[in-house]
Amino acid sequence: MQDSLAILAVLMGNIIVAELLTRLPVFRQLGTSLTVILLTAITANLGLIPTSTNAPPLYDGIFTYLAPISIFYLLLTVNLRSLRRAGTPMVMNFFIGATGTLLGVVAGMWAVAGPKGFGQLYYALGGMFAGTYTGGSSNLNAIALHYGVNKSGNLYAAAIATDNIVTALWMGVTLLLPPLLNRYFPRTLEYNLTSAEKEQLETEANAQISEIETISPIDLAILIGLGVFGLFAAQQLAVFMPAIPKILSLTTFALILAQWSPIQKLRGVRVVSIFCIYLFLAVIGAYCDIAALLKDGQLALTMLVFVSVLVAVHFIVQFGVGALLRQDWAVISVASQACLGGSASCLALTKSLNRPDLHLPGILAGALGNAVGTYCGLLVAEYLRDANWLMG
């Protein structure tokens, strides 16, 4: 089937089914992103829609236009001025954790011998994990698009699956560590909040990550116009200054616009960005060869070793430096979760730790990660590509 309308209808159906499935306990652990990829991989491998071997123009159109625009939209929600509300300890510990992530990517790539472990796109994969473990999945997608990993379906799917597994496990680690460490090395700062203050903090934090918004035709027209213009401007800049990656220009444009008050008042930004990302991920699923993915146990093992080393180094740096600076263990854990899990998982963690005072700081640290993740990912990817010691 090569009819673009029919293919698009199937992709939309997969997004709907994935959203419904993630309401069930089993699929909730997978998350909508991975569920969309798996569903589309199944439909593609069953022959209901084309795979990468006979990819229709629709797939290239989504990769070329919709995917980068979705990242642009997501970054429009990052208000850097609000970071002052996160507080110095949270911001400082976030950057400590981000440093641990970047060192961990290099160490992990050394452990699996880089190109021998992952092939020619090893450096891009390193950049993807540097981006996602300092900011989130939008940064991972930005790096994947820049280096073309999105068209290597199996590698991308293995990365997403490993990321989801490790992120879920890390939530448990960051939940267990503060009370355990406080038992032997008390570091919790005292805070006194009334019930009304706790409720207000939780309401404000939930609003920051809500995926339910009202949107008017004017809002939608402005959003579409901004996305199209942002991508056009980034493409034109790439023509005149080829040394600047298009995705970097697009990211920078979005962050600049996001600081403007009228943009912050736009409704529907988060919903539109998440929908566009799901559609992009659905096409990723169509590029997955399930038979090859199931047979390639070596790829899964190598990916697991790489990410395990990465997270171990992140842990040593995050908690080691935090301990030396005598930081609150809960603040360290939330900052670490901001790196590896993002804003939504930070809120889940602070609720579980019963630290309403950290609800908003954790979410803002996650937003800071969204802002810097793509820059970190590109930096690490280019370093790994030029690292001669990995070739030995």
User: Token pair of 331, please?
Assistant: 């603040």
The whole-model pTM stands at 0.80
pLDDT at residue number 336:
95
The sign of the dihedral angle between the CA atoms of 5, 6, 11, 14 is positive
pLDDT at residue number 232:
93
Nearest-5° Cα angle at 339, 202 to 81 = 60
pLDDT at residue number 165:
77
pLDDT at residue number 17:
94
pLDDT at residue number 41:
85
pLDDT at residue number 293:
58
pLDDT at residue number 364:
86
Contact 255, 8 (CB under 8 A): no
Q: How far is 104 from 94, CA to CA, in rounded Å?
A: 15
For the chain (392 residues), the mean pLDDT of every run of 10, in chain order, is: 86 93 78 82 88 82 87 83 81 95 96 89 94 87 89 80 80 88 75 59 59 79 92 90 86 90 85 86 78 67 92 96 92 93 78 80 86 92 84 58
pLDDT at residue number 226:
93
pLDDT at residue number 264:
82
State the greatest distance between any 2 C-alpha atoms of the chain, in Å, as a whole number: 64
User: Token pair of 185, please?
Assistant: 């090395």
